[in-house]
Amino acid sequence: MASLIDKIIGPRVDQTDLAKNGLRYGTPGFLLLIARVLLLVSLFVPFWHMELVAPQYPDNLHLVAYVTHLSGDVAEIDSLNHYIGMRPLEEAAQIERSIGVYVMILFVVLLEFASWIHSRWAVLFILPVLFFPAVFLIDLHLWMSHFGQNLDPDAPLSNSIAPFVPPVLGTGMVGQFKTVASPGLGLILSTVASAIMIIALFFHRRAYLPLVKAKKNTVPS
């Protein structure tokens, strides 16, 4: 077990080498620290916006999605959706929103662990966090597709609109409404964090791969 843990953690840096090349060894951890901060900030700001444009609403209708909840003109949008047979928005992604805080905390912990690992195992800790923005958009698309494609046929205006799937980013049409979906600051920050993680992996490999190879060469055959 100890041997496996040592293999996962990777070689330790000699203090003399660390003093001479502090920037080289410190860069991966510093970049992952920035990524952790960005993820924590993203938890408190909007992740996604959708604006519904229609003549009867001069100021349009706005839907704002956070990691943990929805805000904006949710009640008004639900009242419109009721007539076409679409379920209330709060019924979507209930599990995802209920565990959103814990997932983000887990991501921060994973990046913290990754900053202490000097082997290729660091990638396994970073990958789940790296793909989070893409997973968020895919999950959002699946929920919008499920709601838009499964309208209640007994709704008052069920025959006035065909099943639909609004785009998660960009412009679309739902009946007489124009939808404009855009990333929120949270999604932008988490995407920037993912880009920083990729850069951190590059510097991680440059810093610690020579140590891993040197350790293998010193192991008796």
Residue 119 lies in a domain: yes
Give the 3-state secondary structure of 84-135.
HCCCCHHHCCHHHHHCHHHHHHHHHHHHHHHHHCCCCCHHHHHHHHHCHHHH
Residue 35 lies in a domain: yes
pLDDT at residue 221 in the model: 45
Total tally of structural domains belonging to the chain: 1
Residue 5 lies in a domain: no
Residue-level length of the chain: 221
Residue 51 lies in a domain: yes
| Helix or strand (DSSP H, E) at 172 | strand 170-174
Residue 12 lies in a domain: no
Angle at 81 between CA 76 and CA 82, to 5 degrees: 95
Residue 188 lies in a domain: yes
Interstrand relation of 170-174 and 177-183 (parallel, antiparallel or unpaired): antiparallel
pLDDT along the chain (221 residues), means of 10: 71 83 93 98 97 90 96 94 92 96 97 93 95 97 95 86 92 89 98 98 92 70 45
pLDDT at residue 5 in the model: 74
Q: What is the pTM of this model?
A: 0.92
**Tokens read off for 195:** 């880009």
**What is the C-alpha separation between 58 and 27, in angstroms, rounded?**
50
Angle at 97 between CA 69 and CA 168, to 5 degrees: 75
Domain range for 79: 24-207
Residue 6 lies in a domain: no
CB distance 146 to 153 below 8 Å? no
pLDDT at residue 211 in the model: 83
pLDDT at residue 199 in the model: 98
pLDDT at residue 90 in the model: 95
Residue 41 lies in a domain: yes
Burial of 180 (0-12, 13-18, 19+ CB in 10 A): middle
**What is the C-alpha separation between 74 and 79, in angstroms, rounded?**
9
